[in-house]
Amino acid sequence: MKNYSRQREAIMNVLHSTDMHPTASQVYKRVRQIIPNISLGTVYRNLSALSEAGEILTISVGEGCDHFDGNAKPHLHLHCRNCGNIADVEFDFKSVENKIADLSFAPETSVLVIHGVCKNCNK
């Protein structure tokens, strides 16, 4: 992304410093510790721009607010419907990419979320 800003860098640093998948509000709270006068609107605008540029992932899990992932490489997300936790899982997407290529489809982005119940909640 060509538009560098101190705010955008702080947001990226927050996202890269965690494997949790924070909401915009959670990102805002963490960034305010670095840049106290940043607005929530600035955080939302930057998260949107970073997501559109493919530098971060936006994860919608049906809870009313999106979550964000600083790891934009292809991987799966496991979402626990009970506790709300989102976990990353590495996955070999080659066979999926080959099937998509056979359909002459040119994907731009993908976020795969599998919903279920985690082992801690399943006890």
The answer, as to whether pTM is greater than 0.75, is yes
d(CA 44, CA 26) in angstroms, rounded, equals 11
Q: Give the confidence band of 123 by pLDDT, cuts at 50, 70, 90.
A: confident
Query: Where in the sequence of the chain do the CATH 1.10.10.10 domains occur?
Result: 6-69
pLDDT of residue 116: 96
Tell me the one-letter amino acid at 37: N
Taking CA atoms, 56 is separated from 11, 41, 46, 67, 108, in Å, by 10, 18, 11, 10, 13
Residues 6+ apart with CB under 8 A from 79: 59, 61, 85, 86, 113, 114, 115, 116
Topology of domain 76-122 in CATH is: Dna Ligase; domain 1 (3.30.1490)
What mean pLDDT is predicted for residues 1-24?
91
Domain with CATH 3.30.1490.190 in the chain: 76-122
Confidence of residue 1 (pLDDT cuts 50, 70, 90): low
CATH number of 6-69: 1.10.10.10
Reply yes or no on whether the pLDDT at 18 is more than 70.
Answer: yes
Mean model confidence pLDDT for the chain: 93
Structure letter (DSSP) for residue 64:
S
